Amino acid sequence: MLIQLLTLLFIVIFPVFIFKIITKSSKSRKTTPPSIFPKSYPVIGSSLVVKSHREDRVQWTTQILQSSPSGTFTFNLLFGRRHIFTANPANVKHMLKTRFSNYQKGPVSYSGLFDFLGNGIFNVDGESWKFQRQVASHEFNTKSLRKFIQTVVDTELNDRLIPMFSDATVDKTVLDLQEILQRFAFDNVCKIAFGFDPACLSPSLPSAEFAEAFEDATNISSRRFRALSSLSWKIKRFFEVGSEKRLRIAVARVRDFAMKIVREKKQELADKSSLESVDLLSRFLCSGHTDENFATDIVISFILAGRDTTSAALTWFFWLLSQNPEVEKEILKEIKGKSDMPVFEEVKDMVYTHACLCETMRLYPPVPVDGKRAVDDDVLPDGTVVKKGSVVTYHPYAMGRMEMIWGSDWAEFNPERWLQRDEEGKWSFVGRSLHLSGVPGGTQDLSGEGDGVSADEKGGGWRSKAVQGGAGDGGWVPAVVYCFSDIENERWIPCQDSGQCRV
Ligand code: HEM
C-alpha cells in the first residue's frame, strides 16, 4: 500500500516538478540578458572565448569595460594566467606614472617582437630604454618641435601634400587618403629622425615596397600575441613556414632599408668635421653607439612610432570632418583667421582645430591598446589585484568610450567638449581634469578592508569617495562602490554598484 502511494505521488509530482524547472529556466532566459562578461572555467579560464574574439578584440573588450563598474576586467586564461584590461584613468596613471617601474614590456613581449624590433626603444626596458628615451627626448622639446614644423612639415606640406590635393581637386581624381597620409608621415618621420628624405610623397608616388614590408612585419608580429601559446609561432618559425616565413622576408626588407639609412648617416658623419643637421640618428651614433645593428633597431622603432600613429590620426580626422560639415566650417573659419603661411605661434593658437584632433583621437586612438607585464604583485587604485607576471593592458579606445568619463554623449564627435567660449566668444581649452573629475578611483588608498571610507578626492566640481569591500578573484570587483558628492551641499550620493552616477 505504501509503495503504491509513493508511486502515485511520484507519477503526479515528478511531472509537475520538471514542468516547474523548465518554465523557470525559460523565464529566466527571457528576463536575464546574456552576460557580456565571459565565463571562466577551471584550467582553461576564458581562453576559448578570448581566442574566438581575436579579430574584434578591441571592440569586444571595450564593451566589457563599458559594463564594468570600475572600467577594469580581469580575464582568466590557460593554467591560471591572468590578463587585466583597464579603461580607468586612475589605474592608467598608476601604471604609466606612479608605479611605472612595476609595469614593463617584459620577456614575452621582448621575444615576440625581437625579430622585428630587436633592441629598439619599443622593445626594451631598463637602462637601454632609459638611454634611448633620453636621446629621443631632445626631439620633443619645444625648440626641436618648432624647428620640425617650420622646416620639415612646412616643406612637406607646401611642396608635396597640398599640390597633390590641389591637382586631385582640379583633375577630379580620387585619392586613397590613408595611403597618401602614410607617405606624408613616413617622409616626415624619416626627415626628423634620420635627416633623410625618402620622398615617398613625390608626385609619381614611387613604389611602396618598403611600406608593404613594414606593414607585413607589424601585422605578423602582433598576431604572434593572439596565439593561445607562443609555441605555435615558434614551431612555425623553426620550420620557416606560413606567416613566419613571410615575417622573415618582410623583416629582411625592412632591415635592409633601415641599415642603408644607418650606413649613409655614418658616412655623412665621417665626411664632416662638425654636425650640421643634428637629427636623432646622428645623436645616437655620436654618443658612442656605433653598432650598426643597434642603430638599425633604433631606426625601425622610430619609423613604427611616427608613421602609422600620425597617419591613422589624420585619416580618421578627415573622415570625421567629412561626416560633420559644421565642424569643418568652424575649422575653415579658424584657418581663414590666420596668415597664408601661419607661423608656429599662430598654429599653436588654433584651439578649435586642436580640439578636433583631440576628439578624433578620443574616438579613434592610433594606439588603441597597450599592454605591460607586472614585475611584482600590486593593487590598482580601483582595487584590482595584480599578480606578479600578469599582463595589464590599458585601453585608450575604451577610455574614449566610457560614459563615466565623457558623459552620455560619448559617442558623438563633439570637439566643443574640449573647449569653452570666453565673454568675447573666443574659444579656449578647458582643463582635461574636468573630464576626469567624476571618474572612480582617483588617488584613493584602497588598502582598507570592510566598508570603511578609504579616501576622497577633490577635482572640478566633484568629489569621489571609494569604499572598498574586498577585491574579487576574477572579473570586475563587485565590492567597490563609488559615490559622488555635491560639494556645495556636502551630500554624498551612493551610486549603488554602477559608479556612473552624476547629480
Ligand atoms: C598621433 C601621433 C602619436 C600617438 C597617438 C603616439 C602614441 C604613443 C603611445 C601610446 C606610446 C606608448 C607609450 C608607452 O607604451 O609607454 C608612444 C611611444 C612612443 N612614441 Fe609616440 N605617438 C605618436 C606620434 C609619435 C611620433 C611622430 C614619434 C616620433 C617621430 C613618436 C615617438 C615615440 C617614441 C620614441 C615612443 C617610445 C617612448 C617610450 O617607450 O618611452 N610618436 N607613442
Cα–Cα distance measured from residue 279 to residue 298, given in angstroms and rounded to the nearest whole number: 13
Instruction: Output the residue whose Cα is nearest ligand 1's atom 34.
Output: 305
- Residues making up the chain, counted from first to last: 503
Note the pLDDT tens digit of each residue in 159-215: 999 999 999 999 999 999 999 999 999 999 998 888 889 999 988 888 878 888 999
What is the gyration radius of the CA atoms in the chain, in angstroms? 27
Cβ(332) – ligand 1 distance below 6 Å: no
b vs e for 244-280, b when ≥16 Cβ sit within 10 Å of the residue's Cβ? beebeebbebbbebbbebbeebbebbeeeeeeeeebb
Task: Report which of 67, 95, 62, 63 is spatially closest to residue 398, judged by C-alpha positions.
Answer: 62
Question: Is 100's C-beta closer than 6 angstroms to any atom of ligand 1?
Answer: no
DSSP string, 46-107: THHHHHHTSSSHHHHHHHHHHHSTTSEEEEE-GGG-EEEEE--HHHHHIIIIITGGGEE-HH
Residue of the nearest CA to atom 3 in ligand 1?
A: 309
Q: Which atom of ligand 1 is nearest to the CA of 192?
A: 30
Are the C-beta atoms of residues 371 and 409 closer than 8 Å to each other?
Answer: no
Residue 95 and residue 372 in contact, taking contact as beta carbons nearer than 8 Å: yes
Ligand 1 centroid, distance to 305 Cα (angstroms): 5
Q: Give residue-wise pLDDT tens across range 54-80.
A: 889 999 999 999 999 999 999 999 889
* Nearest CA owner, ligand 1 atom 19: 305
- pLDDT tens string, the chain, 503 residues long: the values are 555 655 555 555 554 444 454 444 444 445 556 788 999 999 999 999 998 998 899 999 999 999 999 999 999 998 899 999 999 999 999 999 999 999 999 999 999 999 999 999 999 999 999 999 988 888 777 777 788 878 888 899 999 999 999 999 999 999 999 999 999 999 999 988 888 899 999 888 888 788 889 999 999 998 898 777 889 999 999 999 999 999 999 999 999 999 999 999 988 888 876 655 578 888 888 887 788 999 999 999 999 998 899 999 999 999 999 999 999 999 999 999 888 777 778 888 899 999 999 999 999 999 999 999 999 999 999 999 999 999 999 999 999 999 999 999 999 999 999 999 888 888 888 855 544 544 444 333 222 222 222 223 333 333 333 333 333 333 433 323 333 333 333 333 333 333 333 22
**189 CB within 6 A, ligand 1:** yes
Long-range contacts of 198-204, Cβ-Cβ distance < 8 Å, separation of 24 or more: 201/156, 201/160, 201/161, 201/164, 202/160, 203/160, 203/163, 203/164, 203/167
Residue nearest to atom 29 of ligand 1 (CA): 306
Q: How far is CA 448 from CA 41, 74, 86, 440, in A?
A: 30, 21, 22, 16
Rounded to the nearest angstrom, the gap between the alpha carbon of residue 210 and the centroid of all alpha carbons in its chain is: 25
Q: Which three cell numbers stand for residue 104?
A: 614593463
By alpha-carbon position, which residue is closest to atom 17 of ligand 1? 305
**Which domains, ranges and CATH numbers included, belong to the chain?**
106-308 (1.10.630.10)
The answer to whether residues 401 and 410 touch, using CB atoms and an 8 Å cutoff, is yes
Q: Is 137's C-beta closer than 6 angstroms to any atom of ligand 1?
A: no
Q: What atom in ligand 1 is closest to the CA of residue 96?
A: 16
Q: State pTM to two decimals.
A: 0.80
Query: Closest Cα partner for 104 from 112, 113, 96, 92?
Result: 96
* Non-local CB neighbours of 137 within 8 Å, separated by 6+ positions: none
Q: How far, in Å, are 2, 10, 17 from residue 5 at the CA level?
A: 5, 9, 18
Q: Whose CA is closest to atom 20 on ligand 1?
A: 305
CA 132 to centroid of ligand 1, rounded, Å: 13
C-alpha cell at 492: 554624498
Q: Is the four-CA dihedral 229, 230, 233, 239 of positive or negative sign?
A: negative
Report residue 77: phi and psi, to 5°.
-115, -165
With the most atoms of ligand 1 within 8 angstroms of its CB, the residue from 188, 367, 370, 391 to mutate is: 367
Which pLDDT value is given to residue 487? 31
Contact 153, 187 (CB under 8 A): no
Closest CA to 108 of 296, 309, 375: 375
CA of 148 to the centre of ligand 1 (A): 16
The answer to whether 296 touches 255, Cβ cutoff 8 Å, is yes
CA of 396 to the centre of ligand 1 (A): 13
Let me know: does 475 contact 463? Beta carbons within 8 Å.
no
Residue 470: the pLDDT is: 32
Hey, is 404 helix, strand or coil? helix
85: which residues sit within 8 A by CB, 6+ positions away? Answer: 61, 64, 65, 72, 73, 75, 369, 393, 395, 398
Contact indicator for 221, 190 with CB cutoff of 8 Å: no
| Ligand 1 mutation pick, 298, 309, 317, 361, max ligand atoms within 8 A of CB | 309
What gap in Å lies between CA 6 and CA 19, rounded to an integer?
20
Element (H, E) at 370: strand 370-374
